[in-house]
Amino acid sequence: MSYNPMKSDFMLSDEVVARVPYSRAHLYRLEDQGEFPKRRRIGPNRVAWIRTDVEQWLTKRMEELS
């Protein structure tokens, strides 16, 4: 099996929205407020989030809600 960095290291917006129960607009607002990981430009017309950043954010949120 070949290594696919797009699949393992980065999350595109569709995957982030599927994992985080917020709309894209709300995620962008949280990001602007420093309350959600920042998107990274990975190409001229493409942005993604670093998977570990999003998963750490989710873990922290779950701990806060417990």
Q: What is the pLDDT of residues 8-57, one digit of tens each?
A: 799 999 999 999 989 999 999 999 999 999 999 999 999 999 999 999 99
Whole-number pLDDT of residue 4: 57
pTM of the entire predicted model: 0.82
What would the DSSP string read from start to end of 1-51? ----HHHHTEE-HHHHHHHSSS-HHHHHHHHHTTSSPPPEEEETTEEEEEH
Coil, helix or strand at residue 66: coil
pLDDT score of 1 more than 90: no
Q: 5-65, what's its fold?
A: Recoverin; domain 1 (1.10.238)
Tell me the domain boundaries of the chain: 5-65
- 12/66: higher pLDDT: 12
Whole-number pLDDT of residue 5: 52
* 18 half-sphere exposure, CB direction, 13 A CA radius: 5
